[in-house]
Structure 1
């Protein structure tokens, strides 16, 4: 197979390898057998990641087609028993000469220092205003996170996103777009553009802005977005944990007051299978979010699914698609019992699902996340 795209090539290779190693892939598994199969598949995936991305990690640069994303990192503290933390810290600059963005990158590696964790400052693959949220950044971040998990012992439930200025622009976009990857996120001095905050229901989120940072109305928009988060949390008190900090007397440079965000984020861990999922497609559409999956060919920006799980009941509040797929494991529901799906007070289905090794392998290869592994799937067709 010709290596045209490193990211896609690795996904395909992982899938073929995992399925070829699986014994009786179509067999109905018990809960214990599914857990064991998951451990086998994750161990194999870790080896594949080391083989696929380990050299990139050691060289300090990830590649995707002709694009390159160099990075620097520092390691702080001792490795905890539940794995290291990972902080992805995006630099400022944007639509500027290469040397300006290079200088901003070199500065980013010294801006923040967690007590524990792997602190990574990637260099954006582009010199443009939208350098941190072009479509290719999903694959780059997935490479980075997978490599850090395999090479550095990072816990996938302790991955944090932050960025300053143009990097803050990236946080506004990428925190919602990849919401199921983050334990928490913090935006420093960035412009939100048209980004929505709906997907941040399960991502603790900070907004940091200088009171006098008036360029492009950043200060006014930060206040407005903080009010949006207030409103979302008021309507859904168990979600949308957030803080908004408008720093009195400060402009675009907040003189490091925002470093308090590191300790705040570190208090949180990702919930990989939250009881409530609010998923809105952003400008770059995705096929999955937490325990939900859709046909990517049908996805358009702005389309939404809102769903809750209560025991074995899945309650759909909104679905803009003709159908979607529930990604299930025994953390989502008791798969020894039927799964019930309801919408507008109407039961859409009640069905027993089958745990299988092929779905475990496929979900791991699709998600590239050892904590987002599912053993069963259930397609749900929505009423007309």
Structure 2
């Protein structure tokens, strides 16, 4: 399920997810009916969930065609609604504004550009101080970026609070920012990188694990983790740079603690929790750009949107979806952990741990063979072995919410109480 278009993370909020239909015959007219529905002006479209064709069985090729059609439609809607804000270099959301600056370096690769989102320092201080930090961040890594390819984008925090880069609204701003960079600048959603300095580093500590399914890699410079956990970084290579003498708020001590944590996590799961931790000797809070080596280090990595093993630790800023998993809003628990894996050889999914009464498993043809029965297990015990059906509606819903062709799913199974499977 690969299409040569790049856009991240839909902004529209979908209705409740609907499970996979029972196995049934493929209707060859479904794609044509979808095209006809998309040709209707948005304001005049009948809700897709009410239309029979949205639940007709699709072949793998028809699912790919449906993804392409719906993705392109979503892209056009996005550009129509937010192009003015992008051109003005200031996004708006929830009564807040987020100005941003970007510069493009190098030639665009055939697989799409990279995007580096770079967060300034400052925090709980006067707006003009944060403004100066923002101006500094715009060009902080210009020399390094000249040797790389990609968009270097520095946003200005929407607030002037101590936690300016990990307040709840930041996730939504970055969702829209990444989307628009894909739609308008050809950014590849599998090459999006996050970095930040000082208070911006605080934000990276928080945002890298809680939005892990967005990032190809992340780099934290001179920040403090506060209460966050590194568990969600299983598939996000993480660089940590700290002045060895930066003892304010025990930043250097926390950096050493995180090195031990990441070393231990990587030892327990070789090949995951990739990290680079450097404490720069003789340097304090300002590292004299020695930390810039993190950018080319990040550039060596790309996101895997459908990793075979997931560790999802829910932050206090709740997320409804994570990679190919979902938990209904009303069942999310702060600090709750879910561990799930899939096995292509056995065509199966195994839930290792799960706190939620309902756990949604999103499926596509890049994960498992949807033409064969899928086995779902809980801690090795078989809950169900059944055939599933690709349909238009879950494709539409996943694109509406995420807007990411590589996080698009044609089928969903819902696990109830870790005991049974609901279609």
Q: Is the 8 A contact 2:373 2:386 kept in 1?
A: yes
1:125 to 158, 162, 181: 158
Please, which runs of 5 or more residues in structure 2 have no aligned partner?
A: 1-8, 16-37
1:237 to 261, 270, 274: 270
Closer, same or farther: CA 89–18 of 1 in aligned 2, 3 Å: farther
Closer, same or farther: CA 321–162 of 1 in aligned 2, 3 Å: same
Closer, same or farther: CA 314–12 of 1 in aligned 2, 3 Å: closer
Q: Out of 326-335 and 365-374, give the one that drifted further.
A: 365-374
Q: Is the 8 A contact 1:211 1:247 kept in 2?
A: yes
Q: Which residue of 1 aligns with 2:83?
A: 54
Q: CA deviation at 1:23?
A: 8.7
Q: Tell me whether 1:140 sits opposite 2:169 in the alignment.
A: no
Q: Which residue of 1 aligns with 2:379?
A: 344
Q: CA deviation at 1:359?
A: 0.7
- Give distance in 2, aligned partners of 1:122 and 1:8: 20
Q: Which residue of 2 aligns with 1:4?
A: none
Q: Tell me whether 1:248 sits opposite 2:286 in the alignment.
A: no
Q: Is the 8 A contact 2:70 2:396 kept in 1?
A: yes
Closer, same or farther: CA 88–178 of 1 in aligned 2, 3 Å: same
For 1:74, what is the secondary structure of its paired residue?
strand
Q: Out of 335-344 and 10-19, give the one that drifted further.
A: 10-19
- Give distance in 2, aligned partners of 1:74 and 1:383: 48
Q: CA deviation at 1:19?
A: 5.8
Q: Which residue of 1 aligns with 2:393?
A: 358
Q: Which residue of 1 aligns with 2:95?
A: 66
- Give distance in 2, aligned partners of 1:342 and 1:218: 42
Q: Tell me whether 1:81 sits opposite 2:114 in the alignment.
A: no
Please list every run of at least 4 consecutive aligned residues from structure 1 whose deviation after the TM superposition is greater than 3 angstroms.
Answer: 7-23
Question: Quick check: which has more Rg, 1 or 2?
Answer: 2
1:379 to 400, 404, 414: 414
Q: CA deviation at 1:238?
A: 2.0
Q: Which residue of 2 aligns with 1:181?
A: 214
Q: CA deviation at 1:9?
A: 7.9
Q: Which residue of 2 aligns with 1:199?
A: 232
Q: CA deviation at 1:54?
A: 1.6
Q: Is the 8 A contact 1:76 1:117 kept in 2?
A: yes
Q: Which residue of 1 aligns with 2:35?
A: none
Q: Out of 17-26 and 251-260, give the one that drifted further.
A: 17-26
Q: CA deviation at 1:383?
A: 3.8
- Give distance in 2, aligned partners of 1:251 and 1:368: 41
**Could you tell me the TM-score, scaled by structure 1's length?**
0.95
**Residue-by-residue CA offset, 1:183-213 (whole Å, 9 max, x unaligned):** 0000000000011000000000000000000
- Give distance in 1, aligned partners of 2:294 and 2:46: 39
- Give distance in 2, aligned partners of 1:318 and 1:325: 14
Higher relative contact order (CA 8 A, sep 6+): 2
Q: Out of 94-103 and 330-339, give the one that drifted further.
A: 330-339
- Give distance in 2, aligned partners of 1:248 and 1:12: 50
- Give distance in 2, aligned partners of 1:19 and 1:229: 47
**Could you tell me the TM-score, scaled by structure 2's length?**
0.86
Q: Which residue of 1 aligns with 2:18?
A: none
Q: Is the 8 A contact 2:130 2:160 kept in 1?
A: yes
- Give distance in 2, aligned partners of 1:160 and 1:29: 35
Q: CA deviation at 1:11?
A: 4.1
Closer, same or farther: CA 18–267 of 1 in aligned 2, 3 Å: farther
For 1:24, what is the secondary structure of its paired residue?
helix
- Give distance in 1, aligned partners of 2:305 and 2:401: 15
Q: Which residue of 2 aligns with 1:98?
A: 127
Q: Which residue of 2 aligns with 1:211?
A: 244
Q: Is the 8 A contact 1:19 1:361 kept in 2?
A: no
- Give distance in 1, aligned partners of 2:203 and 2:154: 13
RMSD: 2.0
Closer, same or farther: CA 279–74 of 1 in aligned 2, 3 Å: same
- Give distance in 2, aligned partners of 1:207 and 1:23: 51
